[in-house]
Structure formats: C-alpha cells, structure tokens
C-alpha cells in the first residue's frame, strides 16, 4: 500500500503541475482507459498467438502504465482503493466461477 500511495502522489503531482485535473472527470478518465487499452490491443493486432508472445515488452509496459495511471486517477477521484476493489471482485468471481465447474474452461459463468 505504501508503494501505491507513493506512485499515486507522483501521478497527482505530475497532473497538477500541468493543470490537467480540470480534464479528469469520470467520463474522460474512463474514455482514456479505453483508448489506452485499445493501444495495447493494437500491439497484438493481426499476430498469431506465437507472434503475440514476442511483442516488444517495452511497448506493453508503456501502454499498461497509461492504463494503470488513468485507472488509479479514476479510483482516487472516487476514493476507491484499487487493491480493495480487486479483492472484492475476486470474491465475487469465486462465487460465479467455482473451481469444480470453471477449472480448465473459458466459459462464462452463465454457461457453466
């Protein structure tokens, strides 16, 4: 948690020095996450599974950093702890996808 707070402080400082908070409403932050996720997807577009495993990891890191940065800012805006909400989601998914039904299958929980 300490490392998260340190990174979040740096991210907010970076944003605030540029007066960008005015642009960081929920809609724009969510849209930015989607756009950055599309840029990550673009790295894998038209590649085979094998080729996709050889994508430049530095480009992957750059796009993931953008996605995480906007996600952290959206979470901070709504006073959400990203680690807590991920843990909550794991618990929800554990009920939706019990090991005995979901193990080894990519089926949606409604199809198990």
Is residue 60 within 8 A of residue 43, CB to CB? The reply is yes
d(CA 63, CA 57): 10
DSSP state of 97: S
State the total domains in the chain.
Answer: 1
Q: Is residue 14 pLDDT above 90, yes or no?
A: yes
Is residue 109 in some structural domain? no
Contact 89, 81 (CB under 8 A): no
- Is 72 within the bounds of a domain? yes
Q: What would the pLDDT profile of 37-54 be if each residue is shown by its tens digit?
A: 999 999 999 999 999 999
The domain that contains 20 carries what CATH number? Answer: 1.10.287.1080
> Domain for residue 62, yes or no?
yes
What is the C-alpha separation between 110 and 112, in angstroms, rounded? 6
87 belongs to a structural domain: no
Residue 60 lies inside a defined structural domain of this protein:
yes
**pLDDT tens per residue across span 50-90:** 999 999 999 999 999 999 999 999 999 999 999 999 999 99
Print burial letters for 67-88: b (CB count within 10 Å at least 16), e (below 16).
bebbbbbbbbeeeeeeeeeeee
Range of the domain at 31: 2-79
Q: Which residue has the higher pLDDT, 2 or 109?
A: 2
pTM of the model: 0.91
């Amino acid at each position: 948690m300490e490392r998260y707070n340190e990174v979040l402080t740096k991210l907010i400082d970076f944003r605030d020095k540029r007066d960008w908070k005015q642009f960081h409403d929920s809609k724009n932050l969510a849209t930015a996450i989607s756009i950055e996720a599309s840029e990550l997807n673009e790295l894998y577009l038209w590649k085979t599974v094998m080729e996709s495993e050889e994508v430049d990891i530095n480009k992957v890191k750059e796009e993931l950093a953008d996605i995480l940065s906007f996600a952290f800012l959206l979470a901070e805006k709504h006073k959400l702890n990203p680690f807590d909400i991920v843990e909550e989601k794991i618990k929800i998914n554990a009920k939706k996808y019990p090991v005995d039904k979901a193990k080894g299958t990519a089926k949606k929980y409604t199809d198990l």
